[in-house]
Structure 1
Amino acid sequence: MRRKMAAGNWKMNGLKSSLAELEKLARAHPTASCDLLICPPATLLCAAATTCGNSAIRIGGQTCHEATSGAHTGDISAQMLRDAGATAVILGHSERRQDHDERSEDVRLLAQSAQSAGLQTVICVGESLFQRDATNTLDIIGAQLSLSIPDSSTGENLVVAYEPVWAIGSGLTPTTDQIGEVHDFMRARLEQRFGYGVGKSVRLLYGGSVKPANAAEIFAISNVDGALVGGASLKADDFAPIIAALEEA
């Protein structure tokens, strides 16, 4: 049975004072029946890992470089993330694909490096509003799954997050039928590629304007194993109710 996951992506937000939110979240959920993952900016990785060391919260990075080391100014390798205390990394987020021109083939290389370093990879896929309106959403998702996910993936080192790009930060949320259609499609594709056992064990997260008000409805959808949360993960008071809804789902 897949263990549910609530993952928070802080993006380019957070200073040392923000660690108090992690302490507050840890107090609110001293134990959890789902996996809790927070991915702060790289400047806070070490401090966040120390802050959460004895709690139920794990710490992850927001991206990595495919190389283990070298002349790549400003980049961070998967090994460096692991050394800083991270146990996971988000890869292929729509903002990385858009702002840094990351292709699915690039994401695959990053994931291979991260998995080799022992990091769990949260690989993001999703369609733009144009692609959604063109009614070829599943074609887009299928291609991203095929090209972004390495052959070395298992139920332990791979999590897939569906993030409809048009819903992120817009306040728009797809219908439950739209979310369910994509998650059921992803499950079928993973089973087809990796076999029933691995395909069934990979957790599928939904990421797109998840809030305390809509969390329970989203978590009731077929093949939704949790959420990748953006802005609502920055404050413990906002993220804790989402975690509670997931535990009750």
Structure 2
Amino acid sequence: MESSKSLNECKCRLAMGRKFVVGGNWKMNGTKQQINEILSFLKAGPLNPDTEVIVGVPAVYLDYVKTNSPANVEVAAQNCYKADKGAFTGELSPIMLKDIGVNWVILGHSERRQIFGESDELIAEKVAFALSNGLKVIACIGETLQEREAGKTEEVVFRQTQAIANKVKDWSNVVIAYEPVWAIGTGKTATPQQAQEVHKALREWIGKNISQDVANSIRIQYGGSVTGTNCKELGSQADIDGFLVGGASLKPEFVTIVNARQ
């Protein structure tokens, strides 16, 4: 009965045209030697051709990974700024990323919010600017443990999404990554049912506050300690359209996660 339900959920998602998408966020990890090892297991795969695969790479290695990654793996920057150029020491612009063939960027990751103090407003401006310059965006949202325990999960993710919605009209090149901050790098993870509840609530909110077409088509990833062990059950949920993976994306286990829907 459970497998039949999962099959029906997958058929529903496919009917909406939502292709499964798995991102690997390498964060501040990797040397050329380590990156070559990662590229080796990505090339060996095999990776599910029905899943879109994107790796988020430290800035210094973007060009190298773009040049050497397999054709079925896209490359993303982990951040970029809201200007073409200028006196912004340490920042990257969308134009620079496009110039080396990088078409994706991760914006609003919880570490950018929590450690570097990026506001909802700044993240929204960066998302809008990246989109206007032809990049595709993984836009991250999510609540802290304190916010979850206070019963504010939906309030937080709706507020963060609303900030982006205030700046963005065309959502066709946006993937939303819901990442419960309390489940990142802690070994904790939301149960598939908990994750599905938030994804479902967010999709319903988008339908009411943005449009039903966007709600039906936008892909919402789950990003909270996804592993090769829990990926299949998480991936079978009706409103989970992929994953944004941290540490596991540095290991061969990432191939298992990419293939969660097979």
TM-score, with structure 2 as normaliser: 0.89
Structure 1 residue ranges without an equivalent (≥5): none
2:255 matched residue in structure 1:
240
| 2:111 paired residue among 95, 103, 107 | 95
Counterpart of 2:51, as a letter, is: C
- Aligned mates of 2:115, 2:156 — CA distance in 1: 19
Residue 3 of structure 1 aligns with which residue? 19
Structure 1, 200-209 or 184-193: larger mean CA deviation: 184-193
**Paired letter, 1:171:** G
The answer (yes or no) to whether the contact 2:48–2:259 under 8 Å persists in 1 is no
- AA in 2 matched with 1:118: G
1:136-147 paired onto structure 2 within 5 Å: 136-147=152-163
Tell me if structure 2 keeps the 8 A contact 1:23–1:51: no
Q: Please state if 1:204 is matched with 2:220.
A: yes
Structure with larger RCO (C-alpha < 8 A, sep 6+): 2
Q: Which residue among 108, 127, 132 is the counterpart of 1:111?
A: 127
In structure 1, how many angstroms separate the alpha carbons of the residues matched to 2:116 and 2:137?
Answer: 19
CA distance in 1, matches of 2:99, 2:32: 19
Pairwise CA RMSD: 1.3
Alignment of 1:145-224 (within 5 A): 145-149=161-165, 150-155=167-172, 157-224=173-240
C-alpha distance in 1, partners of 2:156/2:79?
22
2:45 to 6, 22, 28: 28
Shift of 1:83: 1.4
After superposition, the C-alpha distances for 1:176-230 in whole angstroms (9 at most, x for unaligned) are 2211111001111222233222221110000000000110111112200000000
Letter of the 2:53 counterpart: L
Alignment match, 1:65: 81
Structure 1 residue 153: Cα displacement: 3.1
In 1, are the aligned partners of 2:227 and 2:248 still within 8 Å (CA)?
A: yes
1: CA distance, partners of 2:118 / 2:170: 20
1:135 maps to what in 2? 151
Identity among equivalent pairs (%): 38
Report the alpha carbon displacement of residue 151 of structure 1 after superposing the two structures with TM: 2.2
1:75 matched to 2:75? The reply is no
- What amino acid does structure 2 have at the position aligned with 1:2? R
Q: Is the 8 A contact 2:136 2:174 kept in 1?
A: yes
**112, 131, 141: which is aligned to 1:125?**
141
**Kept after mapping to 2: 8 A contact 1:180/1:223:** yes
Separation in 2 of the partners of 1:193 and 1:60? 29
| 2:47 and 2:258 in contact (8 A); partners too | no
CA–CA distance in structure 2, aligned partners of residues 189 and 86 of structure 1: 31
Distance in 2 of aligned mates of 1:241 and 1:30? 9
Q: Give the stretch that moved more between structures: 167-176 or 24-33.
A: 24-33
Per-residue deviation, residues 40-63 of structure 1 (Å, max 9, x unmatched): 1001100111112x5200000001
8 Å contact kept, 2:18–2:218: yes
Tell me how far 1:31 sits from its aligned partner.
6.2
- Which consecutive residues of structure 2, in runs of 5 or more, have no partner in the other structure? 1-16
